[in-house]
Amino acid sequence: MTAGGVAAEPATASDPSRQPANPSSPEASGREHGARGLRRRELFGALLVYVLLTYLFTAATWQDPTNHWIGSCCDQEQLIWMMAWTPTALEMGQNPLVTTHLNAPGGANLMWNTAMPLVAVLLAPVTSVAGPILTYNVAALLGIAMSGLACFFALRRYTAGPLGPLVGGAVYAFSPFVASHAVLHLNLVNVWGPPLFLVLLDEIVVRRRYRPVVLGAALGIVGAIQLLTYEEVLATSAVAGFLLVIVAAIVVHRRAPIVESSVRLLWAGVAGLVTFLVLGGFPLAVQFFGPQQIQGQVQPAEVFSMDLLNIVLPTDFTLIAPKQVTDISKDFSGLHHEATGYLGLPLLLVLGWIVVELRRDRRIVVAAILAVVFLVLSLGPALFIGGDPHHIWMPWAPIADLPLLEHVLPGRITLYVFLAVAAMVAIAIGHATTLARRPAALRLGAIAVALVFLVPAPARTSTHEVPAFFRAWDRQGITEDDIILFAPWFTNGAGADPMLWAAVARAKPRMYEGYVYVPAADGRPRYGPPAGGLAKLMIQAQDHGIVASLTPDQRAAAVAELREARISVVIVGPLKYRAEMVRLFTDLFRRPPIEVDGVQLWRDVQQTIAGA
């Protein structure tokens, strides 16, 4: 985060919108109207730039965006299903925050998952007309572009011209954080919230132009919107905002403004909390008091922490990334798309130069301090260097045990590092443009060269076959009461193609499996139902093509599993060892499947096994 919240720039001749004026005079009214028009044009122009850049970044997908999606395996199929489920649930009069269409019959609490219900509702017309795959792609493109625009809007407050904020917004929206998560995580490329929180905090504690209750209400509204987009970003934004206020107070160290700002912050906090609870109370009640609640840590913090070397070593999601380097960085974090802390040595040197040259600018000082603090926090509870753990106490260790924050993956704190870096770059560019031509060119050239190393590699694209059966779901005679066992068996991202098929069927199939967090017997999270005897036979068939005649014990266990789960339909779709999977179920049911529109299926499973 920027230190723009520390000291607003004074009005200058180069920024007419900041000139003091008599608000009742015609001249002041004209200037104000012109400034508003200028700001609108700047925002519109910035949005066009970010949409174009995002389109170029994801260009491979837009050749066939109703069948291909941005990124690679495997979380997209989960998010595509979520985009389909919310409008379908609302259409059926059901609560979209819970579902029995995954992990049936027990269901799942989607507030513990990446449902993104607000995005799904806003883009429901796209889903209705063109399907959930296009919806996913549109959500990703708009999410990245709007994140850049939100950052531009925030940073424009601290510079006399639009160039610095435009570059800063691009640094934020196309950072290694966003470029890496674009491969899998739609929820983590929609990061427009933190810059908006920054704007509101700046107004509350620094500029102090509007009533704190009004600003607090706005804070609550943005918080509720973020809750319904992705809750983890809301939690980390709270941590980042708290640190921003503390660091800014330390840098300012003047009693009077700190006291006044503290009182305003208190009033804003009360108003914000009330507003947030009014708007977000129901989703929170569903999460913490509704069905299928999760107990305990969702993901281990130490596994998904940033590696110290990641600061100077890129992953293959960066355009300039030699294979010798990516062979090392692929082992950073639990999954290498979570290794999002790359800044690069050139940019580190330029940032150091900025700090030294502009050390009297409190905004730069606060931004630099926060960037370092966020980097340290992103290293997690234990220090990893080159993939190897070092038993050194880290500041995240006590935070990792706090309620709610226990679910935060510290490696994702790098988002706020890039927001701070974007602020420093924007302010430095603004400063450079006030200098003579030669020193300005030197500074702008150095910044441009350093930022080249952050340019993301083009986003990958993926697709999987969807049988025609699911595109005509309403004509297949499968009812809302039917519970379906899909082959391939899946409970995680690998092999989750059935979630894609179900999404194309508008999330109407009730699936026994599900790539979705649900509580195990002890309340701790697991993915979908536990793998029983039948599931293990399915895994052998789909992974290795191994199918043997069922023994009496295997048959009895499979029948018991089907009966307990109340499975009434089995569907086999495209998979590597499809014939072997069909043979397994043909042996189990002692009858061949029906073949319809690219799938094999068995209906009336409960009647079939009744005499077994």
Confidence band for 402, pLDDT divided at 50, 70 and 90: confident
Q: What percent of the chain has pLDDT over 70?
A: 93
Q: What percent of the chain has pLDDT over 90?
A: 83
pLDDT exceeds 70 at position 413:
yes
283 lies in some domain: yes
pLDDT tens digits, 134-146? 999 999 999 999 9
522 lies in some domain: yes
Among 241, 257, 237, CA closest to 249: 257
**Of 255, 289, 323, the domain-final residue:** 289
- Residue 125: cis peptide before it, omega within 30 degrees of 0: no
Map 96-164 to HEC letters. Answer: CCEECCCCCCCCEEHHHCCCCHHHHHHCHHHHHHHCHHHHHHHHHHHHHHHHHHHHHHHHHHHCCCCHH
Residue 488 structure tokens: 């391939």
CA–CA distance, 222 with 159 (Å, rounded to integer): 24
120 lies in some domain: no
Query: Considering the chain, what is the average pLDDT of its residues?
Result: 92
**507 backbone φψ class: left, alpha, beta (φ>0; ψ -120 to 50):** left
518 lies in some domain: yes
Contacts of 607 (CB under 8 A, 6+ apart): none
Our count of domains for the chain comes to: 2
For range 250-268, the mean pLDDT: 91
Contacts of 591 (CB under 8 A, 6+ apart): 602, 608
pLDDT tens digits, 462-485? 999 999 999 999 999 999 999 999
CA–CA distance, 244 with 362 (Å, rounded to integer): 13
**Of 289, 323, 348, the domain-final residue:** 289
pLDDT exceeds 90 at position 26:
no
CA–CA distance, 148 with 156 (Å, rounded to integer): 12
Confidence band for 301, pLDDT divided at 50, 70 and 90: confident
User: Residue 388's pLDDT is what?
Assistant: 87
349 lies in some domain: no
599-602 and 569-572 strand pairing: antiparallel
pLDDT tens digits, 551-582? 999 999 999 999 999 999 999 999 999 999 99
pLDDT exceeds 60 at position 8:
no
User: Residue 29's pLDDT is what?
Assistant: 54
pLDDT tens digits, 534-553? 999 999 999 999 999 999 99
Residue 9 structure tokens: 């720039």
339 lies in some domain: no
244 lies in some domain: yes
Domain that holds residue 268: 192-289
pLDDT exceeds 70 at position 609:
yes
**Of 273, 289, 305, the domain-final residue:** 289
299 lies in some domain: no
